Amino acid sequence: MDPIAVTETSAATQRILVVDDEEGAVETLGFILESEGFVVTPALSGTAAMAALRLDSFEVILLDIVMPDADGLVLCREIRTLYPRTPVILMTGYYAENVFDDVQTMPGVFLLNKPLPIMSLLDMCRELCANGIAGQPETLTSGVSA
């Protein structure tokens, strides 16, 4: 998996950008998502994520909140401003009340706690790829999954 490779895709391809500074987490998520038919672009930093977004479009972005080079919440706000139709699933191993409160006020943004509930993640990715933000089911609107 090349960190910011651009590939030719058809309209039916479901592309996901996975942003996490932990290479093992990116590889594992990439393997799981690709085994389910998604096309995954990994990014190991906020800078790499923004570069990937300039080069390609994605149906969903998985974004770690805590990274050495970027504050995930700040990066999420920037992404949502530049790409308002692209949903973002924030991932964190650190629960903080303020993060939960911030996510609740951000349309098209969801929060999953690490370790990630894989089936919930896959269901969210499928639903968001199929229907986008406007078609999100009630189960996604809570913004948080344990």
Whether 10 is in a domain gets the answer no
Whether 119 is in a domain gets the answer yes
**Nearest one of 2, 44, 32, 12 to 130, comparing CA atoms:** 12
Find the CATH number of the domain harbouring 77. Answer: 3.40.50.2300
Q: How far apart are CA 22 and CA 11, in angstroms?
A: 30
Q: Residue 48 region, left (φ>0) first, then alpha (ψ -120 to 50), else beta?
A: alpha
Q: What is the mean pLDDT of the chain?
A: 83
Whether 6 is in a domain gets the answer no
Counted domains in the chain: 1
Mean of the pLDDT values across residues 103-121?
88
Q: How far apart are CA 46 and CA 48, in angstroms?
A: 5
Whole-structure pTM value: 0.81
Whether 83 is in a domain gets the answer yes
Tens-place pLDDT, residues 6-20: 444 333 479 999 999
**Nearest one of 89, 84, 99 to 62, comparing CA atoms:** 89
Domain membership of residue 83 as a residue range: 15-133+141-145
Tens-place pLDDT, residues 22-73: 999 999 999 999 999 999 999 999 999 999 999 999 999 999 999 998 899 9
Whether 8 is in a domain gets the answer no
